[in-house]
């Protein structure tokens, strides 16, 4: 694991990431990690320019969220499209292959689709409301995603 100069741990866990396009229609590779959202394992794209955990509606169906437990309604511009949806607080576990997995409570955006509307995007972990809740580093030479808790920091 990674450490600061004073030997405090920078990261408690690490996992291999995939570096490939997120969908069949894309050519740009993305960093993709395996996580567990409220007990459901799935892949997510790391998006340091995005907000929240944007959930693919197929995952949302498996989560069985209670519509009255949302914490607000909002709209996000996702790839140029204005998408309405609801915000939820959800547990997310970064699954470690080395060290310890870390559980976070993140803000998740659940898109509200029109009847018969298709969603061909993966789930995304944005910086605001999600990635900002942990310390992380990428090693592109080994395709390793390091992560650590920031809980209890000054």
Judge whether residue 14 has pLDDT over 50: yes
For strands 123-128 and 40-51, give the pairing: parallel
Q: Which of 28, 79, 74 is nearest to 52 (CA)?
A: 74
Please give the share of the chain, as a percent, with pLDDT higher than 90. 68
Q: What pLDDT does 126 receive?
A: 96
Q: What pLDDT does 116 receive?
A: 85
Residue 25 DSSP code: T
pTM: 0.89
Classified as helix, coil or strand, 133 is helix
Judge whether residue 152 has pLDDT over 80: no
Which phi and psi (to 5°) does residue 61 adopt? -60, -40
Q: Where are the beta strands (DSSP E) in 18-78?
A: 18-20, 30-37, 40-51, 53-54, 72-78
Q: Which of 95, 123, 90 is nearest to 105 (CA)?
A: 90
State mean pLDDT over 60-89. 87
Lowest mean pLDDT among 29-33, 47-51, 57-61, 102-106: 57-61
CATH T-level fold of 30-148: Cathepsin D, subunit A; domain 1 (2.40.70)
Six-digit token string for 115 = 């009847």
The average confidence (pLDDT) of the chain is 91
State mean pLDDT over 1-23. 93
Q: Read off the pLDDT band of 10 (50, 70, 90).
A: very high
Q: Quick check: 42 and 20 in contact, CB under 8 A?
A: no
State mean pLDDT over 133-153. 91
């Amino acid at each position: 694991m990674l450490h600061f100069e004073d030997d405090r741990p920078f990261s408690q866990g690490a996992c291999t990431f995939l570096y490939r396009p997120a969908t069949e229609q894309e050519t740009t590779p993305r960093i993709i990690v395996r996580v567990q959202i409220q007990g459901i394992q799935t892949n997510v794209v790391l998006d340091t320019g995005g907000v929240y955990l944007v959930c693919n509606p197929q995952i949302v169906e498996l989560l069985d969220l209670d519509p009255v437990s949302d914490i607000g309604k909002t709209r996000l511009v996702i790839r140029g499209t204005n998408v309405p949806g609801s915000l939820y607080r959800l547990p997310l576990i970064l699954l470690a292959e080395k060290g310890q997995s870390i559980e976070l409570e993140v803000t998740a955006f659940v898109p509200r689709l029109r009847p018969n509307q298709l969603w061909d995007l993966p789930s995304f972990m944005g910086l605001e409301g999600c990635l900002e809740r942990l310390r992380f580093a990428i090693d592109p030479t080994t395709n390793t995603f390091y992560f650590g808790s920031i809980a209890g920091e000054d």
